[in-house]
Amino acid sequence: DTGVSQDPRHKITKRGQNVTFRCDPISEHNRLYWYRQTLGQGPEFLTYFQNEAQLEKSRLLSDRFSAERPKGSFSTLEIQRTEQGDSAMYLCASSLGGGRDYGYTFGSGTRLTVV
């Protein structure tokens, strides 16, 4: 296992189009997180899963955003009707649950540019 993988690394899309990102966590990690990071800022929490259950969504996650983790392994983050304000780095992270979050590992992110 080489860590958390995200695909694609870069995505350029026209405003109004839908985009989907994928995250493959470390295999034994049961928690998976999505963050958004804009230039010069720290990552902002979007949502997290424990296994296949989505346990919390940030208020930042508007109705245009949806995330899934159907089998408790990989996760997808979809943005519908993209807006220029959605341009950011979307980071995925995974960890062990149960208070053992020291194995908290980020992927390299997907850079989204909405033109």
Partner 1 sequence: KNQVEQSPQSLIILEGKNCTLQCNYTVSPFSNLRWYKQDTGRGPVSLTIMTFSENTKSNGRYTATLDADTKQSSLHITASQLSDSASYICVVSPNNAGNNRKLIWGLGTSLAVNP
Give the separation between CA 52 and CA 105, rounded to whole angstroms: 18
Residue 52 or 80: the one with the smaller Cβ distance to partner 1 is: 52
Residue 18 or 113: the one with the smaller Cβ distance to partner 1 is: 113
- The answer to whether 113 contacts partner 1 (rule: CB under 8 A) is no
* 110 φ/ψ sector (left φ>0, alpha ψ -120 to 50, else beta): beta
Tokens at 30, concatenated: 């049961």
Closest contact distance (angstroms) between CB of 81 and partner 1 is 26
Instruction: Decide: 19 and 78 in contact? Cβ < 8 Å.
Output: yes
- The answer to whether 111 contacts partner 1 (rule: CB under 8 A) is yes
| 14, 27, 28, 42: which one binds partner 1 (CB under 8 A) | 42
| 27, 40, 71, 84: which one binds partner 1 (CB under 8 A) | 40
- For Cα atoms 30, 44, 104, give the angle at the middle one, nearest 5 degrees: 30
- The answer to whether 104 contacts partner 1 (rule: CB under 8 A) is yes
Closest contact distance (angstroms) between CB of 51 and partner 1 is 14
3 state DSSP class of 100: coil
